[in-house]
């Protein structure tokens, strides 16, 4: 690990895992502003107008990977994270901890480079330092650079009448347009493409396989995340959501809703893999098999 200037900020932690690097700002956040092959393109989006900015009471998106509080609520979710971040190292794990927000919610991001497995492990925590119990969930959002495609699997297919009960929710927002050509709703996988100049689209789903992919720059970003059988998830039952607009595409995972007492904390883990020089198959069935193999070979 080394401390370097990055993106207009003077202090950022650079973590390396094999031939990939991850850069976390220390002057605001915590935000992971870069993830990619060393010397290669940034798989994460950066918002030029926000780079290098610090302080103030306005919320800035910055880009990169962030930790939000779900379900989305302007008073709780859109709390500015414009202040410096405390950084410490515990063995192989780097801990990034900003000040508590105005609601007494203390966020923490722990990043571990698992060199043997070729991945970064991200542990997200939100501690309730307020006076009352609160129901919420950690919400991990990776804002990906423009020009890519998000791919995530449907629940395993079974023919009728072998299975007659619903398999999973597919959740739509008021602005979701399922006829938009950026969507491909296949039999086995769903795809969403980012197109410059095109407006917002979003869906959510319960992804029991706990995997989603984002293809860009000739690489594939794999995000692994939990699925808890029987848990209550936010947004009508989603542990995964994806959103795009004219500039970027988000790959989002969510934990179960939890009632967190004062002094308690909610936890949510992700594992990140970067597959260099790979591309998901264009064929729907082949892509589903590829995702299944990726989930089997690259655990959470």
Task: Count other C-beta atoms under 10 Å from residue 71's C-beta.
Answer: 18
Tell me what pLDDT residue 184 has: 98
Q: In CATH, what number is assigned to the domain containing residue 210?
A: 2.70.98.10
- Cis preceding-peptide flag for 147 (omega within 30 of 0): no
Specify the number of domains making up the chain.
1
CA neighbor of 94 nearest in space, from 16, 183, 174: 16
Q: Cα–Cα distance between 63 and 48 in angstroms, integer?
A: 9
What residue ranges of the chain have pLDDT lower than 50? none
Cα separation, 141 vs 42, whole angstroms:
16
**What pLDDT, on a 0 to 100 scale, did the predictor assign at position 216?**
98
- In degrees, rounded to 5, the angle at the alpha carbon of residue 49 between the alpha carbons of residues 204 and 2 is 85
Q: What is the DSSP letter of 235?
A: H
Q: 8: helix, coil or strand?
A: coil
* Structural domain containing residue 107: 2-297
Task: Give CA–CA dist 265/263, Å, rounded.
Answer: 7
pLDDT at 10: 97
The torsion angles phi and psi of 129, rounded to 5 degrees, stand at -100, 10
Question: Global pTM?
Answer: 0.97
- Say what the pLDDT of residue 191 is: 98
The residue assigned the tokens 């690259």 is 298
pLDDT, residue 294, reads 95
Residue with tokens 């098999």: 289
The DSSP call for residue 68 is E
Contact 152, 242 (CB under 8 A): yes
């Amino acid at each position: 690990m080394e401390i370097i200037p990055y993106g207009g900020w003077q202090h950022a932690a650079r973590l390396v895992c094999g031939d990939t690097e991850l850069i976390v700002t220390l002057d605001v956040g915590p935000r992971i502003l870069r993830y990619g092959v060393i010397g290669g393109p940034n798989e994460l989006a950066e918002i030029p107008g926000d780079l290098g900015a610090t302080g103030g009471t306005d919320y800035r998106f910055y880009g990169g990977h962030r930790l939000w509080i779900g379900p989305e609520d302007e008073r709780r979710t859109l709390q500015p994270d414009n202040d410096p971040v405390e950084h410490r190292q515990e063995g192989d794990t780097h801990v990034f901890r900003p000040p508590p927000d105005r609601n007494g919610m203390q966020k923490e991001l722990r990043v571990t480079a698992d060199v043997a497995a070729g991945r970064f492990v991200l542990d997200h925590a939100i501690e309730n330092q307020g006076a009352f119990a609160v129901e919420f969930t950690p919400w991990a959002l990776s804002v990906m650079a423009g020009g890519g495609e998000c791919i995530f699997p449907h629940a395993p297919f079974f023919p009728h009448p072998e299975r007659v009960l619903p398999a999973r929710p597919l959740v739509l927002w008021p602005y979701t347009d399922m006829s938009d050509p950026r969507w491909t709703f296949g039999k086995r996988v769903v795809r969403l493409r980012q197109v410059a100049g095109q407006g917002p689209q979003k869906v959510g789903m319960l992804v029991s396989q706990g995997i989603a992919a984002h293809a860009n720059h000739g690489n594939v970003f794999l995000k692994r995340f939990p699925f808890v059988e029987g848990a209550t998830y936010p947004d009508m039952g989603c542990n995964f959501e994806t959103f795009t607009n004219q500039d970027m595409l988000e790959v989002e995972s969510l934990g179960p809703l939890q009632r967190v007492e004062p002094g308690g904390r909610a936890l949510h883990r992700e594992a990140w893999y970067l597959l260099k020089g790979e591309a998901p198959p264009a064929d729907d069935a082949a892509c589903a098999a590829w995702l299944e193999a990726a989930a089997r070979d690259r655990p959470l």
